[in-house]
């Protein structure tokens, strides 16, 4: 699945004409996230917030899942 967001995560404003703004793409050809920013400063600020060792959590939406607890 490819997810594309045009809401700048730093100031939460919608980015008009995203093709002419900086972006970050994360993931591979099958599963990716594309984030657009109002300016390069916001892109750099976002990248500085990234953890050194990010964790990816995969869910299980199967019909036989039973929550314990």
Query: What pLDDT, on a 0 to 100 scale, did the predictor assign at position 67?
Result: 64
Structure-token pair, residue 52: 């050194």
The parts of the chain modelled with pLDDT lower than 50 are none
Instruction: Say if pTM beats, i.e. exceeds, 0.85.
Output: no
φ, ψ at 38 (rounded to 5°)? -65, -35
Tens of pLDDT, residue by residue over 2-14, are 899 999 999 999 9
Strands of 1-69 (E only): list them.
2-5, 23-27, 32-36
């Amino acid at each position: 699945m490819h997810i594309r967001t045009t809401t700048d995560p730093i100031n939460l404003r919608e980015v008009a004409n995203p093709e002419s703004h900086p972006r970050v793409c994360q993931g591979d050809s099958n599963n990716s996230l594309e984030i657009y920013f109002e300016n390069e400063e916001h892109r750099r600020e976002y990248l500085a917030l990234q953890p050194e060792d990010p964790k990816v959590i995969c869910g299980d939406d199967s019909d036989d899942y039973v929550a314990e607890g």
